Amino acid sequence: MFTIDNISKSIGRKTILRNCSLQIEPGKFTAVVGPNGAGKTTLLKILSGETKKFAGEVKLNGKNISNFKNHELSKLRAILPQHTVVNFPFTIEQVIEIGRYAFKDSSAAKEEVIDKAIALTGLEKYKGRHYQTLSGGEKQRVQMARVIAQLLHNSPDPKYLLLDEPTSSLDLAQQHALLALAKKQCNRHIGVLAILHDLNLAIQYADDILFLKEGQTVAYGACNEVATTDVIEETFSHPVKLIEDNGQLIIVPKSILNIQTKNLNTISYGQFS
């Protein structure tokens, strides 16, 4: 269990996070949503161990996060960034291998893990390709393979995968492919937390959801319970309408709805994302 208990963080006089609590459970997908400047990135930096000064307590598998050594931490949690620029011509295998930095693999074992990560992310046909020659979606998939490789080891302790707005530069199909891949990791005793910009993506994939606004929790709980019109409108300060389609919730921002109410059925998904 990754437990965040009552954390607050301010920079100067500005409060970035106030009394924020949540739990990432192994096998569950938790989404964090909120408008720009809500403190999502700060929350992730505290969880990753990058930001060390904050009030409150963060415990990873029962142990205070500040008591972990850097290499111990990297075996328990991995972070997928928004996008990663590599300035040198690395092959995809070389990029994925960086996920194994903290491990003392033999080269045979390393090869095996990299192959497995490639298989898990469906990158077989890109073997040997240079990272720089890939498209945005393919690059993100390689990064996903890297963080999966980082968590590929037999340890009785639960592991965690943190995603920082991983879909922001991807197209529709790629967004879903990536989140499906992240969701699949829950089956391997991994707890997943994703900061997401797209509310519809969040409610489709998340088990739990945290709504953040100006550093404070608006609502937190099981997605199907807390994702209500009120909570969403309060969080984003924008009127929305929730529509149910075959048991799947769709969030439609209202001002657009007003213009095109009658044509709702013909509106494609992409216009909202």
Positions touching another protein (CB under 8 A) are 48-50, 70-71, 73-75, 77-79, 81, 84-91, 94-95, 97-99, 101-102, 107-108, 111-112, 130, 132-133, 150
Of 130 and 188, which has the nearer Cβ to another protein? 130
DSSP for residue 183 = H
223 touches 209 (CB < 8 A): yes
Question: Measured between alpha carbons, how far is 22 from 254 in angstroms, rounded to an integer?
Answer: 30
Question: Measured between alpha carbons, how far is 65 from 47 in angstroms, rounded to an integer?
Answer: 8
Of 140 and 204, which has the nearer Cβ to another protein? 140
Of 107 and 246, which has the nearer Cβ to another protein? 107
Query: Considering the complex, what minimum distance in angstroms separates the CB of residue 90 from another protein?
Result: 5
Query: Considering the complex, what minimum distance in angstroms separates the CB of residue 54 from another protein?
Result: 15
Q: How far apart are the first and last CA of the chain?
A: 32
Question: Measured between alpha carbons, how far is 92 from 70 in angstroms, rounded to an integer?
Answer: 25
Enter the tokens of residue 68: 């972990």
Of 131 and 236, which has the nearer Cβ to another protein? 131
Q: What is the DSSP string of 10-52?
A: EETTEEEEEEEEEEE-TT-EEEEE--TTSSHHHHHHHHHTS--
Query: Considering the complex, what minimum distance in angstroms separates the CB of residue 73 from another protein?
Result: 7
Of 84 and 260, which has the nearer Cβ to another protein? 84
Query: Considering the complex, what minimum distance in angstroms separates the CB of residue 101 from another protein?
Result: 4
Query: Considering the complex, what minimum distance in angstroms separates the CB of residue 164 from another protein?
Result: 9
Of 98 and 256, which has the nearer Cβ to another protein? 98
- For the chain, the maximum distance between any two Cα atoms, rounded to a whole number of angstroms, is 63
Query: Considering the complex, what minimum distance in angstroms separates the CB of residue 142 from another protein?
Result: 11
Query: Considering the complex, what minimum distance in angstroms separates the CB of residue 115 from another protein?
Result: 8
Of 123 and 199, which has the nearer Cβ to another protein? 123
Q: What is the DSSP string of 111-175?
A: HHHHHHHHHHTT-GGGTT-BGGGS-HHHHHHHHHHHHHHHT-S--SS-EEEEEESTTTT--HHHH
Burial of 68-92, coded b for 16+ CB within 10 Å and e otherwise, reads beeeebbbbbbbbebeeeeeeebbb
